[in-house]
Amino acid sequence: MVWGFLRSLNTNPEAIFGGGSRRMSQFSSRCLILCLVYLILRPDVSFFVQLSQLSSRCVNFLSRCLNFCPYISIFDSNGDGIGDINGITSKLDHFVEMGVETIWITPFFKSPMVDMGYDVADFVGIDPVFGTMEDFDQLMREMKKRDLKLILDLVINHSSDEHPWFDKSVKKIEPYTNYYVWRDPKGYEKDGTPIPPNNWLSIFEGSAWKWNENRKQFYYHKFEVQQPDLNLTHPPLKEEFRKIMKFWYDKGVSGFRLDAARDLVEDRLFRDEPLLDPNNKNTDVKFFDLDHIYTTDLQETYDLIHEFRKISDSCYNSKIEDRILIPESWADLTNMMKFYGNKTHKMTHFPFNFRLIQATSYVFPTPILLENEITSWLNAMPANGVANWVFENHDIYRTGSKFNPEFSDILLILIMTLPGVASLYYGQEIGMLNTKLRPDPILLKTIRESQFAARRPMQWDSSLNAEGCSVHLPYSLYIVYYHVGILTLTSRPIPTLPPQYPEWNRIRISHIQPSKYKVISPHQSANQFLKVGDRSGVAPLPRPAGPPTNYLQIFCNKNSTHNGISFVLRDVGSNIR
């Protein structure tokens, strides 16, 4: 739901949006949405042994997890231009070669694809364009052979209006009557038009209430009008999701990403939300003009997440060693910390941390800015928490295109050496940049052009079509950056710049063993940018001449066999593209 949230901002979307794909046969309005996120954990296993919320098996899982993620990546196994489950299966050996241990796939469920799969019409059925349940079972068998784990994207905030639940709820067939958030009109206009219950707005503009003529009530939709919000306080609906989670756990899935996790419960009194600026006299109020105190980050939402954790833990399956829940939320720091829970009130295992993305949306990531964001998270995080870092995703321009190609490599090394989980977006490991695309009128009906910039095929090799990517119409792709690819990288010596991921991962596993984390920023030391680890880990080099806030240098410690490899950035502070 990140794109839905961001695309409604009253800003120039081309300034902040982008995205990507690992291997794409074709962008299509019914394309396979795949997301395999790298959760690259430092080898400091003792950091996780103290986590009281996690089982010993889950600690072991997290402490070695390596999870690779393309978002709209089309793994096309039959040449029809649409990715499919068999296409994923065909690339498993490559993932193993890269050191991947966990794969996260976003919705492939049956869907009308209004929101690219996040409008689910059947939570336990696979859309035929992506394959069959037999294909999925084969995928799980092949993953098990390779000791790979799978995380699915679970959309619990809403469904498609084409889901059978919604039709039965409209007809007030029990127990479905209260599966969605229904409300009577506040009144009627002179012409008989029903008035929405309150002033709540949709992220996608306009009222968040849609009148249903058959039921003679409004239903609430935080996102698209075709995505009615589910009433997750309704016990029968919670039981539905228990069955859904158990179904996929029994299939061999290891966990779920919980989409739109901050939006699950609304104010039961349905009160109007206040303006952020009380002096705002504009009659055309937009989503971000309101203070969403009655629709977002309610305590009841976090209580519900706790219930989902209990539901997940109750779905024990001896075939599954580990079960993990990861919420997706762009909440403030205080609310993000709630997702960790405590010793007696278990929540999720860790939330995605987008604060580095948020902090650098419009400004260059200076040392002090990075220090503030990193230390604020670590200081706020509970002692038994797992840290997490993200610098790129499918909705944000790639750092190499936004700032500087060399700087994206620096940021990659930075988050890979921070304590906890480094979530890498596909292509980040080889320094991929945005691409230039020819606008396509069919695609622009479902995806804005600003999303295309980084959603390019994964460069499997240096050929124009990236080792056989489908070029079926109607998608027109113009690749302007294809001089580097995975296959060419893995067969050559370790480079110095850019630090390509396969080589750097081998260095990290073999030589980088940081035990403690400390930030030393320019205002504390004139000769150091920042320090990750201690004497046995990654250390800073003396600062050379040049602008002090635009320089970062990290190198392997003197005991490393790769001594001397350095990653240097100079004079790029104002070079934002």
Catalytic center residues:
259, 328
- The DSSP 8-state label assigned to residue 344 in this structure reads S
Q: Residue 577 burial (CB < 10 Å; 0-12/13-18/19+)?
A: exposed
CB atoms within 10 A of CB 461: 15
DSSP string, 161-197: TTSHHHHHHHTT-TTSTTSB-EE--SEE-TTSPEEPS
Determine the Cα–Cα distance for residues 104 and 96; give it in Å rounded to an integer: 14
218 neighbors 186 (Cβ within 8 angstroms): no
Q: Which amino acid would we find at residue 16?
A: I
Determine the Cα–Cα distance for residues 441 and 400; give it in Å rounded to an integer: 28
Q: Which residues of 271-281 are buried (b: 16+ CB within 10 A; e: fewer)?
A: eebeeeeeeee
295 neighbors 263 (Cβ within 8 angstroms): yes
Determine the Cα–Cα distance for residues 222 and 207; give it in Å rounded to an integer: 9
Q: Residue 494 burial (CB < 10 Å; 0-12/13-18/19+)?
A: middle
Please list, in sequence order, all residues whose beta carbon lies within 8 angstroms of the beta carbon of residue 510, skipping any fewer than 6 positions away.
none
Alpha carbon separation from 538 to 418, 434, 533, 556 (Å, rounded): 10, 30, 6, 6
Determine the Cα–Cα distance for residues 532 and 547; give it in Å rounded to an integer: 21
502 neighbors 493 (Cβ within 8 angstroms): no
